[in-house]
Amino acid sequence: MKRILSLALAAALLSAWPAAQAATAKPSTATKYPFLWRIEGKERSNQHFKSYLLGTMHLGDRRLVDIPEVVDKALAGADALYCELAMDEAQKMAPQMMLKMQLPPGESLSGQLPRDLYARLDARLRKLGTSAKRFDRFRLWGITVLVTQLEATKAGMTESLDMTLYKDAKSDGLTVGGLETFEEQLDALSQTNKQDSIALLRKSLDYMAQLDKSGKSAIGVMLDAYLTGREDALLDAAEESMGTDTELNDRVMRPLLEARNVKMTERIIEKIEKDPKKSFFFAIGALHFVGKEGIITMLRKKGYKVRRVTPPQPTWEEFLALRQRLEDMRRKTQTLERELAAAKK
């Protein structure tokens, strides 16, 4: 029972997913291009800020927890750190969390899933050292999160990047906290109806099976994309994992992410506006920052000046495309100059 409880807590604690490779892993170089932005000011205003936004992964691969110097420096100068959740408070919510993840009396996971999908889930869990029967009281949304969590555990994960930052900040005397409450995260996850939850689980298992054929893992794909520091690579990896059912994604996944982004953007603004002289450090899952509905875009739309501190170098293809655009602009300028000269004659 204790093992099931600990797995349940880890599964629901999205922002505190275990991670950091086993102690036998070889040291890795920190990423050169962390998803680090600085909030510097506001348009049409003399107001200045010195707060930072760090896009994390809720994992602890050595390449993640080996924190880049630029990130370490920004955190060292901060007055407060806010993650998605206050990690210590989340641990106190264990009993309430367990209740929310459990089905009502008389209901079971095996009774809610189609037989073929339940069999596939059981096969996947057995590969991970457990079985579907052990989680027969789990709600559908909880079991979907659990599978991903167990994949991370299988990879030798222990403590997440978010937790590492949180502990370091707390030990250094910084104010620490969360932009969301645990209840808000659980409520957001549990809003999906039964039909969509089944579809999401099926899609998740399909994607994992597809990656198995190429010797990859869902976590590995996302981690590789994250370490490039490229926003487009991260978005592409996320899109791939979401599959081709655009209707399901538009109905469930994107609104869920966007709603949380709106809320966290409002709370970031509230904190930096309340005390602009303080340096806040916000460490949130990187996918919340990027894209058209990301927090960075939302902040800029509200007039805040946000600058990427360590943007990745352009690829050769991007360089060639940029050179071509500049050449096209040069030709258009020459054409306009000739037309203007001819008009003056």
Q: How many domains does the chain have?
A: 2
Q: Is the pLDDT of residue 246 over 80?
A: no
Reported as a single tens digit per residue, the pLDDT across 207-226 is 999 999 999 888 889 999 99
Neighbours of 46 (CB within 10 A): 6
E strands within 32-119?
Answer: 35-42, 48-56, 80-83
- Specify the pLDDT at position 244: 67
Residues 332 and 202 placed together within one structural domain of the fold: no
Measured in degrees and rounded to the nearest 5, phi and psi for residue 248 equal: -65, -45
Domain that includes residue 236, residue range:
2-313
Residues 157 and 178 placed together within one structural domain of the fold: yes
Contact between 139 and 147 (Cβ < 8 Å): no
Residues 267 and 288 placed together within one structural domain of the fold: yes
Task: Name the average pLDDT for the chain.
Answer: 84
- Specify the pLDDT at position 93: 74
Reported as a single tens digit per residue, the pLDDT across 27-58 is 445 788 999 999 999 987 888 899 999 999 98
Residues 300 and 253 placed together within one structural domain of the fold: yes
User: Which residues pair with residue 280 across a beta bridge?
Assistant: 80
Name the DSSP class of 278: S
* Confidence bin at 235 (pLDDT 50/70/90): very high
Residues 306 and 338 placed together within one structural domain of the fold: no
Residues 22 and 104 placed together within one structural domain of the fold: yes
Residues 197 and 254 placed together within one structural domain of the fold: yes
Reported as a single tens digit per residue, the pLDDT across 116-161 is 999 999 999 999 999 999 999 999 988 988 888 888 777 666 678 8
Residues 333 and 216 placed together within one structural domain of the fold: no
* E strand or H helix that includes residue 227: helix 218-228
- Specify the pLDDT at position 307: 96
Residues 209 and 343 placed together within one structural domain of the fold: no
Residues 336 and 298 placed together within one structural domain of the fold: no
Residue 119 and residue 107: Cα distance in Å, rounded? 18
Measured in degrees and rounded to the nearest 5, phi and psi for residue 56 equal: -110, 175
